[in-house]
Structure 1
Amino acid sequence: MATEIDWRDSAQPPHERVEALLGEMTLAEKAGQLGSFWKTAEESADGEVAPAEDEMRALAEKWADATANGLGHLTRPFGTAPVDPAKGAAQLEETQREVMARGRLGIPAIAHEECLTGFTTFGATVYPTSLAWAATFDPALIERMGAAIGGDMRAVGVHQGLSPVMDVVRDYRWGRVEETMGEDPYLVGMTGTAYVRGLESAGIIATLKHFAGYSASRGARNHAPVPMGPREFADVILPPFEMAVRLGGTRSVMNSYADVDGMPAAADRELLTGILRDQWGFGGTVVSDYWSVAFLDKMHRVTSDRASSGAAALEAGIDVELPGTDAYGMLAAKVDSGELDEAVVDTAVRRVLLQKAELGLLDREPAVSAPNPEVDLDSAGNRALAAEIAQKSIVLCANDGVLPLAADEPRIALVGPTADDPNTFLGCYSFPNHVLSRYADRGTGIPVPSLLEGLRAELPGARIDYAQGVPVREADRSGIDAAVEAARGAAVCVLAVGDLASLFGRGTSGEGCDAPDLDLPGVQTELVEAVLETGTPVVLVVVSGRPYALGAFADRAAAVVQAFLPGEEGGAAIAGVLSGRVNPGGHLPVAIPRDPGGQPGTYLAPPLGQGGFWMSNIDPTPLFPFGHGSSYTSFEYRDLEISEERIGVDGEVEVSVTVANSGERAGEDVVQLYLTDEVAQVTRPLRELTGYARVALEAGAERRLTFRLHADRTSFTGRGGKRIVEPGRFTVAVGHSSQDLPLEARFEIIGRTREITGERVLVTPVVG
């Protein structure tokens, strides 16, 4: 029964407004709030910006039907075709007013957009990829970026951002590694939660994806089944999502396409309701990944038809069907037939309407006008922030002293396919690669200086000879001779190799761009070998969305630099590292393998997953381990102290260490704390990251850090399937990477095994 209050009155409590509105709605109007529409432009019809775009175009013909009873979401009004901010904002407002006019109740829709490397729209700043965010080991910096991106989106009328990707990397061959924040759940959780806080602080609804297990597909194939047990799922895959829900305040979650052990996430009530809502207390909306509801019958074949898919997804906990109303357009019929309880519909509608109330979309004068349509989406402040992230994300993996390059270097050869192609710095979901690749005359839409331009600006007195050598992916060897000639005549050769991100096999990194192995794409390995044979000192610069196996030649390179698709300011940032203007401080969020085959897995493997055993001729030990990163200065650790030798199962121990800059210039280091459970009732990782801090120190300076390690941070899923803190002995180690750990200490947890049933300590605070 409707309450007495006016649901349009913004002075009333939001929950009461929602109940009043719900009481006035017909079943068809309720279902309308759970649907969406992708209003595509004609020029977007000649290429894909998402999977199954043929279905999108079919749904796009049903605008009148989709909006007759109201509409939940508008899909990507800025991210489908090039449009400047003011025009896009005007078009969005016009569309919103049309939605209001078509529906009896006059309720606008929530407009959502992608924001994986910044606001995915024409002319907006392209920040480094998520993998690069993680390489900074600097959550506060990523939170600032999230706030900047969110501010730009809200300025033009967008409400929700489909980011961040909280998936934990399990196989480097997977195309979407670039969208993740690495292979460690704690690093992913800390970085992603910071981004969520930034977006939400600007009024944007952050959307965690892909919940859950998507990144662990069999054979690293996009959308492939996930052969994972419940323990790995609980201890590796779920923690980052839990952190972002409990600590980040995210208001939306998007389901995974994958099926885990035969259960598609879109139909998994235990996951979407039992874990997410009942255990973690999530109160926001769950939105479907694009077409994932339809995939229940079309691909997974766990339902017999589209209407049944809609009912199954809604009952599992998916509130909104994206990107268009398809299966959810049949919900009313399912209710009328008695196959679906209307109360299930009401529950989802309440969640959607509550967010609309928070956004001002249920007010008497709904907030559909853009706050600042003339906003500069690639402002000087944005570019400075993009540059800072790029600089802090670049990892110096190895250096025999050739770097930094001398300012008066007589002759430098710059060769390779990522040396003078600005698109190679940008992620798959950047607007230039995601959409503008179909508009040959639009370029990148923003200035994106190449490495060649950056190096010439950085070293104006040097002669720089450029040769591409080979393309990124095509087997064209015709330019190798010219590259070899350039390298042979130079004092040093900068060899830039790596990826070009795109979609569904059109690139070497990105959604649907999975790799059969971890060799450099195309014939780039042949180029590297040919250049190394010249005898000229080679600085190998890898600009990529995943780590590639470099063991065949890294020991012959004078230096190795890794940049994970560093964004629009990436060329200048890499050039700054090469010149020494920037002292590199990035650390690896994924290991760099030695060999391209015999997939090494990640550093979190239990003992039998590590190298050094006689049982196999394949050694998975990486070339450069997780957490590795060098600098132009040096750092030393000393005086490790542990506050307690024994703590209870709900106690806390403090681990303190002094870090000193023992070199001759200022620099930044990432101090890493690892935990080893010496004996446990199930196999555990040999070590796992349990705390870290990025520290800036002047030459000769030092700093005392204290990590507050709670017993909850030792917890894991035990034999009974419950999360426990188990008594036993533990080793903590502090160092520069997961394999370079000069200091260690031991402590013991005593008492009876404790089962964790509610909230737990998810973070290891660092003070000092």
Structure 2
Amino acid sequence: MTSEGGPYGKAVSAVRAGELDADKAADQLIDRMTDRELLGLLDGDSPKQLLPLIPVLLDRRPFVAGAVPRLGIPGIRFSDGPRGVVIGTSTAFPVTIARAATWDPSLEERVGQAIGLETRARGANYSASVCVNLLRHPAWGRAQECYGEDPVLTGRMGSALTRGVRVNVMACVKHFALNSVENERFEVDVSVGEHALHEVYLPHFKAVVDAGVDSVMSAYNRVRGEYMDVNRPLLTDVLRDEWGFSGFVTSDWVFGTHDAVLSLQAGMDVEMPLRLVRARDLPAALHRGEVARATVLRSARRILRTSVLHAATREEAGPSPDLIASPAHRELAYRVAAESIVLLKNEITGAAPLLPLAPNTGHLAVIGRLAGRANLGDHGSSRVRPPSTVSPLQGLREALPQVRITSTSGKNVRAAVAAAAAAETVIVVVGLDQHDEGESVVTAGVDVGVLGRAFGSGRLRAPLIALAHLASWFVRGGDRDSLDLRPSDVRLIRAVTAVNSRTVVVLIGGSAILTEEWRDRVPALLLAWYGGMEGGHALASVLTGVAEPGGRLPFVLPTDAAHLPSFDSASKSVIYDDRWGQRMLDGDGHAPAFPFGFGLGYTTIEQRLLDHRFDDTGGSADVLVTNTGDREGSTVVQVYAADTSLRRPVAQLLGFQKVTLQPGAESTVRVTLDAGPTLQRDPATQGWAPRAGDWALLAAQHSPSSWVDARRLRFPGALIEENGVVDGQPT
């Protein structure tokens, strides 16, 4: 990594010692810089000729922007990604949506610390690992990189990752904003009303800003007709003026900058990762006065201030490369994977539930095309290459060395049926891989003209697009065409369950997979996600009962895709409103297959709301939780609110807390509540006030379908409830 010496190093030391604040340190550095060096802060340092090599170089070294060796300024040294460091060989954690299923911000903060350490050990100082785009529809190709469909869950988990990452490197949150379509991500225009924008799609971004995130990455898409890099209403009016964000904004890569001057004026500070639009246009624009020098200095100050401040507040000694994929980080990856697995179904088969597997199991059949594969997720910019991986089959063989395990891919259905018929219990591992979903390799609408006249005129445009289309034959990725399993997987499940009723189905994937065609045939069903490098060990631990299935759904799993918003991956324009996910099912009266927040364990746990304190800034609820089963177990206490004056109340998550209890134990758990879902914003004043309605509160183990036992939610000045009585009248 570039040495932080010279004037930059002295500035960092002075800020660390309290002799200088970061703003003055940035100004002192700017005073020593030439115009060329100043403009060099505002885009990547790599020449545009490296564009075809980005996929190759991304996993070999940091991408640098704004380095000034003469002054010792190291620049922004970029690394992705959401499930681990993409440079070199690193720990592969479960994908973000799997970690969301843990509902455990403290665990996510530990993941952030590990990612930050490994990022710094690889020579980077900036990690784009925090993705908080809302899952509006599970067909979104990059669903695996987000925290699910709920703003409160997303905000808390994203904030936790941010706090962990920035202990060692600058943390970047992406993709701001309203980015949840993949195939047309470069061109799609999102129309959104004021209330939905501020009350649904932005609160989790603000939560991460409040958690101290250093940088924001602007999205490719347009919002209300304007590309995000030139979208002043969001980049400046909201992000900076309303929220008080003081860090710097970078573009999404290559095609995320559309105008050198307008993007700078709108509040986008750094074009990443190459010298493209700004290198071509800004010097002349500055010389002619088309962009004010003050505008250039404003962005330069944001970048240098953030860089100096972070370097001054992190530990001086860098981590050793030995910690990369170390035993401690592998153990963390294992624990997260185990706690993310969602047990959706576990019927009694014989004298007991099918899971965990009986200790005296003698013969197990493990079947499915994904059983013997280490399936870590998509092969786009977030791809991590760990030193080793563990498939479900390998994990089971290592966990059950005395058990006879036979295996087949299921491609030959007759062989699969024979294996299933001969075994006591069958584990079928099916689902998705990088060909079914992930970052899109190509989109035909991309404006390659940003690369220069040769691309815009057509001489190089056609070869570039042809190359991208060719690549898509090898790794398709992109948005999903269907929420169902592949037909071959469905046929396999039907064939196996016809000959062995003791069948467990394990689903691998990055979002919702419909189960209506076959779920009634299967006594046990788990969602195991893309579980990272230790995913096979974690799955085996859950199947055998060594570990509790600790996951809870971070989205609703419907019975029919028609119960979700429409999704057209080829559309150039979309409308985002406040009807999506569990909330849409609630409002329309559709029962889900499995509700938001659902997940079973290996014990039984009860909970009861005792009391709550609440106003328009938030509050807390005390919930009595009791383990009524015969083994240790965990649950996620979830507190919801709804306007019960509506014919169909729509549940809004306010807070949650994970708790583990011994058999027979009880504990009073205090859950922090977020007022946001009960408030509405006044666009004129930017102020927030309680939303009208008869609001009630309920503690539950998943999104509730009934509000009969709910308590009235107390706002300041509202009626006061004590022991089920409101102002002397029974509730």
1:242 shift after superposition:
0.5
- Letter of the 1:657 counterpart: V
Against the structure 1 CA distance between its residues 176 and 33, is the aligned structure 2 distance closer, same or farther, given a 3 Å change threshold?
same
Q: Which residue of 1 aligns with 2:173?
A: 208
The answer as to 2:2 corresponding to 1:9 is: no
Quick check: 1:257–1:292 contact (8 Å CA) kept in 2? yes
Identity %: 32
Q: Which residue of 2 aligns with 1:386?
A: 333
1:552 shift after superposition:
1.4
The answer as to 2:44 corresponding to 1:36 is: yes
The answer as to 2:268 corresponding to 1:315 is: no
Quick check: 1:156–1:371 contact (8 Å CA) kept in 2? no
| Matched position secondary structure for 1:565 | coil
The answer as to 2:269 corresponding to 1:340 is: no
The CA deviation string for residues 31-83 of structure 1, in whole angstroms up to 9 with x for no partner, is 011111348xxxxxxxxxxxxxxx663598xxxxxxxxxxxxxx9997334xx
1:428 shift after superposition:
4.1
In the alignment, the residues of structure 1 paired with residue 538 and residue 321 of structure 2 have an alpha-carbon distance, to the nearest angstrom, of 29
In the alignment, the residues of structure 1 paired with residue 319 and residue 130 of structure 2 have an alpha-carbon distance, to the nearest angstrom, of 24
Q: Which residue of 2 aligns with 1:756?
A: none
1:535 shift after superposition:
4.0
1:708 shift after superposition:
5.2
1:598 shift after superposition:
5.3
In the alignment, the residues of structure 1 paired with residue 473 and residue 143 of structure 2 have an alpha-carbon distance, to the nearest angstrom, of 11
In the alignment, the residues of structure 2 paired with residue 177 and residue 32 of structure 1 have an alpha-carbon distance, to the nearest angstrom, of 34
Specify every segment of 5 or more residues in structure 2 that has no aligned partner in the other structure, as ranges: 1-5, 348-352, 442-470, 567-576, 719-731
The answer as to 2:239 corresponding to 1:273 is: no
Q: Which residue of 1 aligns with 2:610?
A: 641
Against the structure 1 CA distance between its residues 360 and 189, is the aligned structure 2 distance closer, same or farther, given a 3 Å change threshold?
closer
Equivalent positions of 1:355-374 (< 5 A) are 355-358=306-309, 371-372=318-319, 374=321
| Matched position secondary structure for 1:749 | coil
Quick check: 1:509–1:546 contact (8 Å CA) kept in 2? no
Quick check: 1:394–1:574 contact (8 Å CA) kept in 2? yes
The CA deviation string for residues 394-416 of structure 1, in whole angstroms up to 9 with x for no partner, is 11011011111113212211111
Q: Which residue of 1 aligns with 2:130?
A: 164
- Letter of the 1:484 counterpart: V
The CA deviation string for residues 605-633 of structure 1, in whole angstroms up to 9 with x for no partner, is 599933696xxxxx853211110010110
Against the structure 1 CA distance between its residues 396 and 6, is the aligned structure 2 distance closer, same or farther, given a 3 Å change threshold?
closer
In the alignment, the residues of structure 2 paired with residue 35 and residue 427 of structure 1 have an alpha-carbon distance, to the nearest angstrom, of 28
1:110 shift after superposition:
2.2
Against the structure 1 CA distance between its residues 710 and 487, is the aligned structure 2 distance closer, same or farther, given a 3 Å change threshold?
closer
The CA deviation string for residues 482-505 of structure 1, in whole angstroms up to 9 with x for no partner, is 222211222221110112125436
Quick check: 2:182–2:479 contact (8 Å CA) kept in 1? no
The answer as to 2:204 corresponding to 1:240 is: yes
Specify every segment of 5 or more residues in structure 1 that has no aligned partner in the other structure, as ranges: 40-54, 61-74, 82-87, 297-308, 362-366, 435-443, 471-478, 614-618, 753-768
| Matched position secondary structure for 1:425 | coil
Q: Which residue of 1 aligns with 2:252?
A: 289
In the alignment, the residues of structure 2 paired with residue 508 and residue 692 of structure 1 have an alpha-carbon distance, to the nearest angstrom, of 43
| Matched position secondary structure for 1:136 | coil
Q: Which residue of 1 aligns with 2:529?
A: 564
Against the structure 1 CA distance between its residues 430 and 531, is the aligned structure 2 distance closer, same or farther, given a 3 Å change threshold?
farther
- Letter of the 1:409 counterpart: T
Structure 1 range deviating more: 737-746 or 601-610: 601-610
In the alignment, the residues of structure 1 paired with residue 219 and residue 146 of structure 2 have an alpha-carbon distance, to the nearest angstrom, of 14
Structure 1 range deviating more: 714-723 or 335-344: 714-723
The CA deviation string for residues 389-439 of structure 1, in whole angstroms up to 9 with x for no partner, is 0111111011011111113212211111211001x13454587x56xxxxx
1:490 to 423, 434, 441: 423
| Matched position secondary structure for 1:214 | coil
Against the structure 1 CA distance between its residues 408 and 221, is the aligned structure 2 distance closer, same or farther, given a 3 Å change threshold?
farther
1:524 shift after superposition:
1.9
In the alignment, the residues of structure 2 paired with residue 620 and residue 507 of structure 1 have an alpha-carbon distance, to the nearest angstrom, of 37
1:532 to 497, 502, 508: 497
Equivalent positions of 1:215-614 (< 5 A) are 215=180, 217=181, 224-246=188-210, 248-294=211-257, 296=258, 309-329=259-279, 330-358=281-309, 371-372=318-319, 374-400=321-347, 401-422=353-374, 424-428=375-379, 433=383, 445-470=386-411, 479-501=412-434, 503-504=439-440, 512-521=477-486, 523-597=488-562, 599=564, 605=580, 609-610=584-585
Against the structure 1 CA distance between its residues 230 and 656, is the aligned structure 2 distance closer, same or farther, given a 3 Å change threshold?
same
Quick check: 1:116–1:430 contact (8 Å CA) kept in 2? no
Quick check: 1:214–1:223 contact (8 Å CA) kept in 2? no
- Letter of the 2:602 counterpart: Y
- Letter of the 1:318 counterpart: M
Q: How many residues align?
A: 656
Q: Which residue of 2 aligns with 1:621?
A: 591
| Matched position secondary structure for 1:622 | coil
1:706 shift after superposition:
3.2
| Matched position secondary structure for 1:658 | strand
The CA deviation string for residues 740-759 of structure 1, in whole angstroms up to 9 with x for no partner, is 6684211353659xxxxxxx
Against the structure 1 CA distance between its residues 719 and 347, is the aligned structure 2 distance closer, same or farther, given a 3 Å change threshold?
closer
Ranked by relative contact order (alpha carbons within 8 Å, sequence separation 6 or more), the top structure is 2
| Matched position secondary structure for 1:660 | strand
The CA deviation string for residues 84-137 of structure 1, in whole angstroms up to 9 with x for no partner, is xxxx69xx9xx99x9655xx5453322110021111122211001100111001
Q: Which residue of 2 aligns with 1:80?
A: 59
Quick check: 1:76–1:112 contact (8 Å CA) kept in 2? no
Structure 1 range deviating more: 506-515 or 12-21: 506-515
In the alignment, the residues of structure 2 paired with residue 414 and residue 334 of structure 1 have an alpha-carbon distance, to the nearest angstrom, of 64
| Matched position secondary structure for 1:197 | helix
1:651 shift after superposition:
7.4
In the alignment, the residues of structure 2 paired with residue 359 and residue 652 of structure 1 have an alpha-carbon distance, to the nearest angstrom, of 30
- Letter of the 2:40 counterpart: G
| Matched position secondary structure for 1:164 | strand
- Letter of the 2:27 counterpart: E
- Letter of the 1:483 counterpart: A
In the alignment, the residues of structure 2 paired with residue 663 and residue 737 of structure 1 have an alpha-carbon distance, to the nearest angstrom, of 19
Q: Which residue of 1 aligns with 2:110?
A: 144
